[in-house]
Amino acid sequence: MSSSSLAAPFEVQPRPDRPALVHVDSPGDAPGWAAEHRAALRALVTEHGALVVRGLDLRRTDQVGAVFTRLAGDLMTEREAFAPREAHGPGLYSSTTWPDNQPMCMHHELSYALEVPGLMLFACLTAPGEGGATAVADAEAMLQALPTELTQRFERTGWMLTRSYNDEIGASLAESFGTDDRAEIERYCREHAIDFTWLADGSLHTEQRRPAVVRHPVTGRRCWFNQIAFLNEWTLAPEVREYLVDVYGPEGLPFNTRYGDGTPIGEDVVQLLNATYEEHTRREPWQAGDLMLVDNIRTAHSREAFTGERQVLVGMAEPQRPADGGQAAKEGAR
């Protein structure tokens, strides 16, 4: 029996305010089950944008790694990380290190890279006491909901990510590039359309322009695909922003975003983006043992503030170069 023919037994619960959910009886051999149902599950992710699978009883790191690879093949090695992760095996990571009491707002993973994961995989080994959901938002709906004038401007210019690497905040050079060798970092930047400058103190400043709207590689539909709001200074807690500006200056923030032509993005625009995301947010509280699959092009995801212990493992797979390269990315690659 083919995997696709096994889609019918899945009792999918499409819910307007939550991600689609599938309940399964614990199969015992979770990796074997994942391999058997791979095609059916992947089709459901394409259909719904995100899917929670409950009942697999995922408990161990090695078990999660096996499930991820059975579902998605080889996992991607993360490059250009903005915050550290703990590696648990090839392509298997902890959630990004981020203060428990501060949410990570909606974003598409690595949307500032030339090659992005088409599929995100999450597994919850330990559920938080309160909060901590990996919430999702539909990128097609976001594009339709935002003011046309704003989205057209971003389509014309793209968006720019600026980064200033230091030894105190965010990922180090080695954590981001996989090396601290200058020549290797410069080679990577040239190959990935990243403008770079070594400053007098030896630190690195980079700029990269990317499209803000792309077409989904399967459906062809246009999606709002970026990290404009998440990595912008105005999304930071006010006291955090004030501290960073005071220490590093407005041009030396660890990360910030601009319009693709270099024009600053106003606080009002960032607030509008985050408010629109919130209007389209769907959330399902984690339960220990859950698996979650997210179409990274069609669906943004976030991590909500939480209390208690929270252990969620992450994998990235199905590398894509977004179909709409956009003029901004083409110019950046020259």
Domains of the chain: 9-138+284-326 (3.60.130.10), 141-275 (3.60.130.10)
Which contiguous run of DSSP H or E holds residue 72?
A: helix 61-72
Q: Is the pLDDT of residue 74 over 90?
A: yes
Residue 172 has pLDDT above 50, yes or no: yes
Nearest CA to 113 out of 324, 323, 320, 327 is that of 320
pLDDT confidence of residue 28: 85
Integer CA distances (angstroms), 126 to 30, 60, 94, 287, 316, in order: 17, 10, 12, 8, 20
pLDDT given for residue 9 in this prediction: 60
**Cα separation, 295 vs 46, whole angstroms:** 7
How confident is the model over 236-276, as pLDDT tens digits? 989 989 999 999 999 899 999 999 999 999 999 999 999 99
Q: Which residue is listed with tokens 């999660």? A: 64
> Which pTM does this prediction carry?
0.92
SS3 state at 102? coil
Sign of the C-alpha dihedral computed for residues 161, 164, 169 and 175 taken in this order: positive
**3 or 71: which leads in pLDDT:** 71
Q: For residue 210, which of 108, 111, 86 has the smallest C-alpha distance?
A: 111
Does 129 have pLDDT greater than 90?
yes
